Structure 1
């Protein structure tokens, strides 16, 4: 596609983007509309997403055109920036951003963007050859990530981190000059909204080429205000994990190594994400060398707190333990790796006449521990153990 004649290249690119699947029709777009950024880049790379986010640039009146398209196609029109004339159109799960071009024309707009591979535009109305004033297509052909201009990175410092996210998602080599700019201005990132920083990080740690980006994050302390005391770009061996397990475990393990508990809070991470990382960090320290030597109650607590995220902890375990732990974790009937209660409170009330309260809580907790370590197999064994525990507790109280 990159070597085709300009007109044929535009037709091939549009076919790759499959506009028939879009929730809006190209013939309803205003004259001068162009598709810019990620969707164009990914189509050239063969990374076509059947459901891409679309970024449209119009010559003027972006808010009005977005509202009109929402009315025509039954979508929702959201004003993102009234002053800069930027809106978002949400239709049937699709996200389409509509922005007024900056500067005197499309090329001027593209010269204000972050990286050359994002400074590509396909005119849609009417269809015309690709607009590539910064040499983005050549950079794509050579697998190179190059900033358009140094000042463009400072205009929105989140772009400093976004460049490393591109390295994590796409097999690219970082242009030396661009790397110098990112390193030189790394402290400017703090002015970016924390939610935007976290969103970039969460995409970065999921990237199939994240090791390179994480190494640079460690080498250039871009994340120093939020990082752990000793951030590490440790490369994880995921060969024992299946694809689904790795998709969940690897990003969590990377993020926990990278960002401190306080950093996650300052980046406005959800309570759930903060808890998952804090638990993984805590048990990672507790189980660093000999996790199987932990006292029984601590070992049980580890599995209670990390049951769903245990694969992330296993990535940091000694190599000789990983196969055994994975095998047990994959067994839903393993009593320690998936702890359950052998009896519930209602059964204790019915069979033992035990009322709800501290004693019942202690008995249930001990029953779960006994079952986790294989000392209780059946309901009858659980009831006998419960009788004994009640008697022991009463004797202590007397």
Structure 2
């Protein structure tokens, strides 16, 4: 990265409106300034301005001029948003009687840099430029972290996002304030965790979060085994990258277009499974407390409940057992496979199961029924009942075992099976 200089110039051409509409006292603040200094490009424009006065009026004037969307986000605090096709622009009341005072209330030095387009001038009272240069997250003050405990978690997300480290005193303060994590709304905690679950280096950051005491309040049983499993899942991703073709790898993780493996919800859920308790009841409570969706909870619990079926010392597994495993897991099988590989549970078997799963014509992983329940009802003259489901299951197993190959054979098999069942 090139040396950062206070003479930095940010072109007004990035603005989705004419600079003349922006008051001379307005300052660009927040992530856009930081990212511009780091030469980080954004696909979506997200600008934040701090103004000493005329906040709502300025936003409305710009919105009217360009027929853009306009909404007052906070009437009491004077915050308004203008929505353009290419991004959003937020206007907020400057806190304090100067921009320096406003910046003093922010979280970390790298986020406390402002830029004035009219003067082409950077305001950097807390040496954020230097910390950007040395890739360091440094707090502005203890009080700022106390006032908004979410910042205790946000530091890990931003460090992961930027590939920065956390300054020693800042990290020590986070440890000392870790009990404040209980004051944060669960939805906001989940959001921070989810970012790390989808970040390439996220597992290492969860290890640091646990060491700093911010994980226990949400995942009470987390220990070294959980953290080792997180890293094990990451290793299983690399294993599959080496073992599978690019097409199969993308299919396994349901990747499309510009997706990366770390944006895959399958990998994120596999990592989440590593963090929860092995006790399904406790795991469910942990996920409910963090406001995870029913879909997320069901996926994690299914994986946990099926892992014991492939114990490390289990040498042989029948086609029947594999059939039920695929039937139970369905499209969350990749999550199960990643966690099983991460646990080093019968890796050869897991890799074989993955091969079955990746073949859409595979009768074991993706069986196509030879008959339906209506076929059995009509052929056997029976009524709908739990027994009907049992018959269909046995027919499917006979099919994957190669005992039957067509509808006629399936019906005959069902008839014979029913006769034997009734004779018991």
- TM-score category (smaller protein): 0.7 to 0.9
Contact 1:19/1:26 (8 A) holds in 2: no
Gaps of 5+ in 1: none
Match of 1:170 among 151, 162, 168: 162
> Is 1:362 the counterpart of 2:359 in the alignment?
no
Query: Could you say which residue in structure 1 is the equivalent of 2:105?
Result: 112
Cα distance in 2, alignment partners of residues 223 and 389 from structure 1: 53
Q: Give the aligned CA root-mean-square deviation in angstroms.
A: 3.0
> Is 1:157 the counterpart of 2:174 in the alignment?
no
Cα distance in 1, alignment partners of residues 126 and 32 from structure 2: 17
Matches within 5 A, 1:1-398: 3=3, 6-7=6-7, 9-11=8-10, 14=11, 19=14, 22=16, 24=17, 26-92=19-85, 94-124=87-117, 126=118, 128-231=120-223, 232-234=226-228, 235=231, 236-237=234-235, 238-239=237-238, 240-241=240-241, 242=249, 245=253, 246-247=261-262, 248=264, 249-259=266-276, 260-289=283-312, 293=316, 299-316=322-339, 317=341, 318=344, 319-372=347-400, 375-395=403-423
1:57 is paired with a residue whose SS is strand
Cα distance in 1, alignment partners of residues 404 and 57 from structure 2: 69
Contact 2:157/2:195 (8 A) holds in 1: yes
Using a 3 Å threshold, how does the CA distance of structure 1 residues 161 and 327 change in structure 2: closer, same or farther? same
Residue 361 (structure 1) shift: 2.1
Residue 274 (structure 1) shift: 1.6
Cα distance in 2, alignment partners of residues 95 and 186 from structure 1: 33
* 1:33-91 deviations in Å (ceiling 9; x for gaps): 33322233233334312214333323334444444444444444444333222334444
TM-score normalised to the size of structure 2? Answer: 0.80
Gaps of 5+ in 2: 242-248, 254-260, 277-282
Residue 174 (structure 1) shift: 1.5
Between 1:179-188 and 1:136-145, the stretch displaced more is 136-145
Which ranges of 4 or more aligned residues in structure 1 deviate by more than 6 Å?
none
Residue 95 (structure 1) shift: 4.1
Residue 395 (structure 1) shift: 4.1
Cα distance in 1, alignment partners of residues 78 and 114 from structure 2: 19
1:211 is paired with a residue whose SS is helix
Using a 3 Å threshold, how does the CA distance of structure 1 residues 121 and 376 change in structure 2: closer, same or farther? farther
Cα distance in 1, alignment partners of residues 313 and 153 from structure 2: 37
TM-score normalised to the size of structure 1? Answer: 0.85
Residue 121 (structure 1) shift: 2.4
